[in-house]
Every structure is written in C-alpha cells, then in structure tokens.
Amino acid sequence: MSIDTLPPLRQVIDTHGLAAKKSLGQNFLLDLNLTAKIARLSGDNSGHDVLEIGPGPGGLTRGLLAEGARRVVAIEKDARCLAALAEVAEAYPGRLEVMGGDALDINPLDHLTPPIRVAANLPYNVGTELLVRWLTPPQWPPFWDSLTLMFQREVAQRITAEPGSKAYGRLAILAQWRADARIVLNLPPEAFSPPPKVSSAVVHLTALPEPRYPADAKMLQHVTATAFNQRRKMLRASLKGLSPDIEAHLAAADIKPTDRAEQIDLERFCALARSLKAAL
C-alpha cells in the first residue's frame, strides 16, 4: 500500500542510483506504512514544523508529510539523494525544504518556525552527538518540543535507563533531567534495507518546561561524567578530585561515600551538583 502518489521507495532507489553507502550509515526504511507510523509517533504535526535529519530517499519524509506535518525541513549529507527529495517536495508544494550538507555543521533554525519537533532515522554516531547537543542548549526550554529518534536499541536503552541497571549512565541523566524519554517502537534488523547487524528502537523525548530538579547544567554534566567514568568505583574515590570536602557534599546529597554511580538517582545527582556549585 502506498501513502502518496509517488513511486515506491525501491523504485526511487533504483531510479536515482541510491545504493546504500556504509560510510554514511545508510540503512533505509522502505515500508511507507512503517514510516507513517513513526511519523505518527512524533505526534500531530499539523501545527508544527518538523526538522528531519538524514531523509535519504525520503521514506520518513513522506510519512511526515502524508501524516499532515505543517512543514518539513530536512538536512541530507548525501548529494545523490537530493534529486529524489526534490520529487517529494514537488508532490507537497511549499511544505518540504531540503538542505544539502552535514547536520553537524548546519544550523537550520532560521528556516524553521516554532513550534518545532525533530524526527530522524540517523546513523548512530551522528544521532548520539546531535542528541547530546539538543539536550544541552545554552537556554532551556530548547528550540524543540519533542525529539523522535531512531537509535541502535542499546543506545535507546541507555537513554531511557533507570538507576541500578547496566545501561544507566550519563546519557540517561542528561536525557531524563530535562525531558521525558521513552522507547515507543522496537524494530528488528529486517525492517531496514540493507539490514544492520543490530536491532533498533525509536525513542520519543518530550522537553519539560523546567528541569526535573534544579541544578547547574555544566556542574551536573561534570559530576555525572566523572562519576560514570569509573562506574565501578565507590563515589568517595571517583569524585575525590572534585572537592577536598567531597564526603560532606555526598552527605548533603544523601549519598553514602561507598555508593557507586549507578545506584544514584537523578534527584541525588542534582543535589550533589547543587552542593558542589554552592561551594565554588
């Protein structure tokens, strides 16, 4: 079944010679029912501009447009895809703008009108780098209301992990401090062409208007990076370089000096960051 009058994605790939390039992390979604489903998981976008990173042959882009996104601005690094995307833009007049280039270098904000959501199926390394940037803007709330992002399942689990689990670490703290993060769809390798080696998952993050607990962003990042860098050590040892009074700061945050990083929930990490910041 097709969601628009454009050719099926397999045909688009053949016509435009879009043989997948490993160097660009190209694992395409060819099932337009699935891309429409992912588009719906990002929410009702009829009143939103959507920033899409890495549209490739346009599967998710078509899903977003067919499901009614007000506008889509898409950044694609592979120049081979631009002609295929121009055909999508033609089928949805005035609703798709494609920017050719590297999403890590381009600032698309001048091209977008709030409210803005982000949706992407990206190579995993670029996805994690962009996620960290989107979660650490100079000001909060950020430019986006929500992020709907495909990740390697293991990375999705790190983003949504609870204290005490193996996956819990910096990414969980960063994501959950100022956003609600949940896995909304699991996908097997066969959902992609070519299939990657690992399973994938879509994570949906909604920006909270305020951080869940007060803390200085830089201090919280510094504390969690230091704590999880040596995650098997007791916090008294792994954090001793942060302050000569580290035991007092740990006590102020209700943390035992013998606790390990993965036992500490977000609330107590924020209390620790506040205590250290106040002593500066």
Chain residues that interact with ligand SAM, rule: CB under 6 A: 24-29, 53-56, 59-60, 75-78, 81, 102-104, 121-123, 126
Q: Which residue, 50 or 239, is less far from ligand SAM as judged by CB?
A: 50
Rounded to whole angstroms, how far apart are CA atoms 269 and 111? 37
- What share of residues in the chain are helix, strand, coil (percent, to 5)? 40, 20, 40
Output the smallest distance, CB 220 to ligand SAM, in A: 27
In a 13 Å sphere around the CA of 35, the CA atoms on its Cβ side amount to 27
For ligand SAM, the nearest residue by Cβ is 54
Output the smallest distance, CB 22 to ligand SAM, in A: 11
Q: Which residue, 27 or 238, is less far from ligand SAM as judged by CB?
A: 27
Output the smallest distance, CB 19 to ligand SAM, in A: 12
Q: Which residue, 85 or 219, is less far from ligand SAM as judged by CB?
A: 85
Q: Which residue, 54 or 169, is less far from ligand SAM as judged by CB?
A: 54
Q: Which residue, 152 or 221, is less far from ligand SAM as judged by CB?
A: 152
Rounded to whole angstroms, how far apart are CA atoms 119 and 51? 6
Rounded to whole angstroms, how far apart are CA atoms 112 and 184? 26
- In degrees and rounded to multiples of 5, residue 147 shows phi and psi of -120, 130
Give the closest residue to 267 by CA, choosing from 228, 218, 232, 215.
Answer: 215
Rounded to whole angstroms, how far apart are CA atoms 222 and 268? 14
Burial of 50 (C-beta count, 10 Å sphere; 0-12/13-18/19+) = buried
Output the smallest distance, CB 30 to ligand SAM, in A: 7
Q: Which residue, 43 or 169, is less far from ligand SAM as judged by CB?
A: 43
Output the smallest distance, CB 2 to ligand SAM, in A: 15
Output the smallest distance, CB 59 to ligand SAM, in A: 4
* 150: enclosing H helix or E strand: strand 146-152
